[in-house]
Copies of this chain bind each other. A is one copy, B any other.
């Protein structure tokens, strides 16, 4: 709560600290938005879902349940979070909802996918 300075060392560069605060202010919105995307992709199950969508184009919740050997509601709840943030969309075909990546926000995710593929086990 108290807003005291925690560090009183001589070397503390006040100009640097000010510059840092300003940098954070300028980039604040981007940081908030991108941290949301990273937090979503930072879950193994969701990263697998995103990676598969990148590979396959579109899949339905029950595909994921089969592939990942998880319950359908568990999958559905992960999907909802990603849809809420706009990472993925759906298209209905009868009873089936096909999900796919939204190509919009995703320079960051594209790079993640590339990195995953590059690090894949060749053995």
Interface residues of A (CB under 8 A from B): 3, 5-7, 9, 11-12, 16-17, 19-21, 23-24, 26-44, 47-48, 51-52, 55-56, 59-60, 62-63, 65-69, 71-72, 95-96, 107-108, 111-112, 115-121
Contacts and interface: CB of A to CB of B under 8 A. Distances in A.
Say what secondary structure dominates the interface of chain A.
helix
For the complex formed by this chain, how many copies does it contain in all? 2
A51 B52 CA distance: 29
Contact of A63 (B17, B28, B40): B17
Contacts of A30: 115-121
Contacts of A12: 62-63, 66
Contact of A11 (B7, B34, B96, B108): B96
